[in-house]
Amino acid sequence: MKTARWWLSAALLACAAASPAAASLFVALEGDARGGYSQRGGADAEVNSVGGSARKVFADRRGDRVILFAQAEWVEDFSEALLHQAYAEWKGPMGRWNIAAGRVLLPWGLRTAWSPARMPYGSPYDWTRTLESDNGALLRGTLGVWDYGLALTQGYGMEDIEEFPGPGNLTGRLGMTPGVEGNFTLGLSFAAGTAHASEHGHGMGDAMAEERTALALDCTWNAGRGTYRFEGGARRAEETWHGTLFGAVDYALLPRLTAQAAGQMYE
């Protein structure tokens, strides 16, 4: 909690700093309230999350050059504060390379371009102990049909920082988008090192350090009204391999109405 508050304060101060002539600030707020019913527990409702993000962009005559970004939220009826991202990024020409430092989103699987956190069926990463974000440096970019991301981080995720520089974790993804339409993407992700992650979700305070090696294959296909996503992976921890499979479908019934379905398996 202390770590989250410190990072959030630093990021907000950076975003509010005085800027040169070519600069802009973007702020977004969001909330998520949910209700449900079960025979055992009856009716139940909660404020699942309330949060937002702030983005400060500094540009020159060649385009955006420096970005300061912070994203945080309070979850489970305001019982826990999470700082997902708080970083400064330097952008290279034509998106070929971008360097970020701070609390960065890790380049992994479907999460590179899609977030399941707000979906009613939950996240496939809760049970796989895959870190969402971590403190460190991130290099990413696009070269033709290829996109890449490589992050060298502490391995604490959103947990408190116990020591510096930490046990260390390496995460990377190489993706490909063939064709000019861009309606199909394929990616291969890998991770190695020590990661502090919860067994059931990203909640702080209940994480364990785990030496791990992980691989994943993901693909996304946009066809007509539908978007189809798949991710399969394997994680080796404590001399044991664990497998995961996840699939999701979004289908637009109307311009403002979408049907969703998802399923996952893990071992």
Domain boundaries, the chain: 1-91, 121-267
Residue 8's SS3 state is helix
b (16+ CB within 10 A) / e for 42-65: eeeeeebbebebbebbbbeeeeeb
* Cα 26 to Cα 77: distance, rounded to the nearest angstrom: 26
Q: Would you say 195 and 157 are in contact if contact means Cβ atoms under 8 Å apart?
A: yes
The average confidence (pLDDT) of the chain is 83
Q: What is the pLDDT of residue 198?
A: 59
Cα 30 to Cα 12, 45, 215: the distances in Å are 17, 18, 32
pLDDT tens figures, 106-139: 999 998 988 877 777 666 676 666 788 999 999 9
The strand pair at 63-75 and 80-91 is best described as antiparallel
DSSP label at 95?
Answer: G
Better-predicted residue by pLDDT, 258 or 15: 258
Q: What is the pLDDT of residue 229?
A: 96
* Cα 267 to Cα 263: distance, rounded to the nearest angstrom: 14
Q: What is the pLDDT of residue 197?
A: 67
What average pLDDT does this structure show over 244-248?
Answer: 91
Q: What is the pLDDT of residue 5?
A: 45
What average pLDDT does this structure show over 181-187?
Answer: 93
pLDDT band at 207 (very low <50, low <70, confident <90, very high): low
Nearest to 46, CA basis, from 83, 75, 82, 84: 75
Q: List own/partner pairs for 97-102 with CB under 8 A and 24 or more apart.
A: 97/139, 97/140, 97/141, 98/139, 98/140, 98/141, 99/137, 99/138, 99/139, 100/137, 100/138, 100/140, 101/136, 101/137, 101/138, 102/7, 102/11, 102/135
* Cα 54 to Cα 23: distance, rounded to the nearest angstrom: 13
**Does 76 score more than 50 pLDDT?**
yes
